[in-house]
Amino acid sequence: MALTSDVAVIGAGIIGLSTAYQLAQQGSTVTVYETGTPGFGQSAGQSRIFRHAHDDPRLVELAVRARAHWRRWEDELGAPLVSGDGGLALGDTVLRRLPAMQQYSEIGAREIGSDELHSLLPQLADYDGPAVFDPSAGSIHTRSAIELLTQSLGDHVVREQVISLRSVDDGVQVRCPTVVGEHAAAVVCAGRGTAALARGVGIEIPVKLGAHVRVSFAVRDGAGRLPTLQDGSDAFGFSGIYAAAYPDRSAYGLGLADSVDADVDGAIVDGDALARHAHDARAYMSRALPGFDPTPIGIVHCWVTALPWGDDGVGIWQNGPVFALAGHNLFKHAPTIGETLALAVDVGSVPTPFTPADELGADQG
């Protein structure tokens, strides 16, 4: 079967769907190629954290734009997509990040004391160290976002694996098991598969592969409000903890920032490491959040596609009519990244600060 459209988008995670949605709004015809169920790769799970706090001030500004864009999506798609519960961050790192957030009055982030902290998250054990509250943060309702964007694209989502991507004449040819697509341009945002597909059209992306795990735990007595949590304090024996609430506030999806290394082909040599990380998530829950039942009710395994310049690093590579997006911790920025990729296709070049040379998301410490 042959397909023709203006733009091929490879990957129907949150970035691919956001890009396709923006391109369609601009009047382009779009074909989205997805091997499995949309949103069940690196975008899997019930929720993600929306946060403004970053080491790179450019990502703070990007998050401000993205938060406004999430609100526009809520109006356009007709459903709440980010909770209004805010976000909590613990540890010395948050104080270093706070000044950049306070440059934007619409964020409203502030340092808080232990009394306010425990009123915002009464499920938390005793803690009196540095804490910051971001009232504009919240838990992203990931399933709703994925499903509504997919519905908006209708039959333009093709459930086929991309076998080959190559430049032909002034366009791009996409070959799948039973489909051949001819397009004027292509956007590759296929998670761990991006680097391999991009290499086929002469783009080298220095992605380091890994995997991590998130475990879900139920609130014992329900919660009227459940802000997101990032804990870098090590006050409870673990650092680099993050948690986001289910849309109905019945549970937290909680994980460690640590990931398990994978080989360049995706092989995970230490197969027990993910199990150890899941065990550590449960141990943290027992110590730090006694207001939750420490018996797991769900689990999500995700690939990590990190760039050399930082855990929040993101970049867009280009070779002719092909654009490839790579990075980590991207869900919160998805509306603005999709808008940027659509613009790149429209103007034929990658805008600043998304070129690899810009090292957007670089660690500042």
What's the pLDDT at 2?
78
Same-domain status, 246 and 363:
no
Cα-to-chain-centroid distance, residue 350: 20
Kindly state the DSSP code that residue 107 receives in the 8-state scheme: T
CATH at residue 10:
3.50.50.60
Same-domain status, 78 and 165:
yes
Per-residue pLDDT tens over the stretch 284-297: 999 999 999 999 99
State which of 255, 276, 306 marks the end of a domain: 306
Find all residues with CB under 8 Å of 202, minimum gap 6, and list them: 319
The predicted model gives 112-123 an average pLDDT of: 97
Domain count within the chain:
2
Flag whether pLDDT at 36 surpasses 80: yes
Q: Is 214 helix (H, G, I), strand (E, B) or coil?
A: strand
The fraction of the chain above a pLDDT of 90, given in percent, is: 94
Q: How confident is the model at residue 271 (pLDDT cuts 50, 70, 90)?
A: confident
Q: How confident is the model at residue 1 (pLDDT cuts 50, 70, 90)?
A: low
Q: Regarding predicted confidence, which is higher, 8 or 2?
A: 8
Same-domain status, 127 and 228:
yes
Flag whether pLDDT at 364 surpasses 70: no
Instruction: Give 58-61 contacts, CB < 8 A, sequence gap 24+.
Output: 58/353, 58/360, 58/361, 59/312, 59/333, 59/360, 59/361, 60/100, 60/101, 60/103, 60/104, 61/104
CATH at residue 285:
3.30.9.10
Same-domain status, 214 and 128:
yes
Mean pLDDT of the chain: 95
Flag whether pLDDT at 45 surpasses 80: yes
State which of 260, 285, 306 marks the end of a domain: 306
Give the integer Cα–Cα distance in Å for 193 and 197: 6
User: Which residues form the domain of 215?
Assistant: 87-135+208-306
What's the pLDDT at 230?
98
Give the integer Cα–Cα distance in Å for 357 and 187: 19
What's the pLDDT at 365?
54
Flag whether pLDDT at 264 surpasses 90: no
Same-domain status, 106 and 236:
yes
Same-domain status, 217 and 288:
yes
Same-domain status, 151 and 293:
no
What's the pLDDT at 164?
95
The predicted model gives 229-255 an average pLDDT of: 96
Same-domain status, 67 and 148:
yes
Flag whether pLDDT at 353 surpasses 80: yes
Same-domain status, 234 and 347:
no
The predicted model gives 98-117 an average pLDDT of: 97
First to last CA, the chain: 52
Flag whether pLDDT at 108 surpasses 80: yes
The predicted model gives 64-82 an average pLDDT of: 98
What's the pLDDT at 269?
85
Q: Regarding predicted confidence, which is higher, 302 or 140?
A: 140
Q: How confident is the model at residue 217 (pLDDT cuts 50, 70, 90)?
A: very high
Per-residue pLDDT tens over the stretch 155-198: 999 999 999 999 998 899 999 999 999 999 999 999 999 999 99
